Amino acid sequence: MRLAAIDIGTNSTKMTVADAQGDGTLSVVAEDSEVTRLGEGVDAAKRLKDEAIGRTLQAVQRFAESARSQGAERVLAAGTSALRDAANGQDFIARARERARVEVEIITGDHEAELAYAAVRSDASLNLPPDALLLVFDIGGGSTELILGQGPDVRRHKSLDAGAVRLTERFLKSDPPPDDELAQASRFADDLLETFPAPDQAPRVVGIGGTAVNLASVARALPKPDPDAVHASTLTLADVSAVLGRFRSVPLAERRQIPGLEPARADIIIGGVLLLSRLLARFHTDQFTVSARGLRFGLLAEAAKSQ
């Protein structure tokens, strides 16, 4: 069965079209993504802005039409942090149903964690040992998902109320942010990360989402973000620190010109990479593996198995 899944995040909207087998095995047909910034201002106002709704609905409609033109029998869609937090989230869902003929499910933090872990754990290209202690993280725009598991089983997970957009809007208000703003943001991130108990041994760490992909693309000196090129690659804490230093040394206009970085992400990337560096410190590891597979792959596998 050919299926499509649309992930409507706080910062970006992504789509994957894939041929799915009954055991959840996926063969990717097409992918697309767009920075739509649905969660712009949600942290303060607890409402979606009209402009943000318009941008995101346009992307959802375009993705849904593209998926159907490529033979997708079903188009799945899930919303995460921004839609969970916004008082007018149901209005967005109604408009997506009318405009794009897509039924958007606002998934819980629990379900989001399960989908992200399943997407990583089932990816043979990552060469994860079957019984490895595994930490999966997804630094989104409005939240950061942490999932600790072993083998196929999730041990514990948590959705932290901080992401690249939220950290930027709260603390990183100068261009570029000075040391005191970065220190405030780091303390806030550390306090949140402390609420997730670290295991006795350092886990294998895998990062999904746009922050990890953009960071890896810059570290590898690619001309633009390339999920396929950086998938399954390993970055060290030294790599993260070097790229963070590069980002924070120049103003926004110059960050937008850095090869490997999506220009529309340049205003929030410092917050995302800062969170990532604090996360590695919290879990006593000096490296992580990048995965270009995220929540939407979990959605597709789940749908295939339910047929």
CATH of domain 2-109: 3.30.420.40
| pLDDT score of 114 | 86
On the question of a common fold for 2-109 and 126-291, the answer reads: yes
Write down the domain spans for the chain.
2-109, 126-291
Measure the CA–CA gap between 83 and 218, rounded to whole angstroms. 30
Pick the CATH number of 126-291 from 3.40.30.10, 3.30.420.150, 3.90.79.10, 1.20.90.10: 3.30.420.150
Instruction: Give the C-alpha separation, 201 to 285, whole Å.
Output: 10
H helices present in 33-127, as ranges: 42-45, 50-69, 81-85, 89-100, 109-121
* Interatomic CA distance for residues 16 and 11, integer angstroms: 17
pLDDT score for 112: 84
pTM of the model: 0.84
pLDDT tens-place values along the chain, 307 residues long: 999 999 999 889 999 999 988 776 788 999 999 999 998 988 889 999 999 999 999 999 999 999 999 999 999 999 988 899 899 999 999 999 999 999 999 998 788 888 889 889 878 889 999 899 999 999 988 889 899 999 888 999 998 988 999 999 999 999 999 999 999 999 999 999 999 999 998 899 999 989 999 999 999 999 999 999 999 999 999 999 999 999 999 999 999 999 999 999 999 999 999 999 999 999 999 999 999 988 899 899 888 877 6
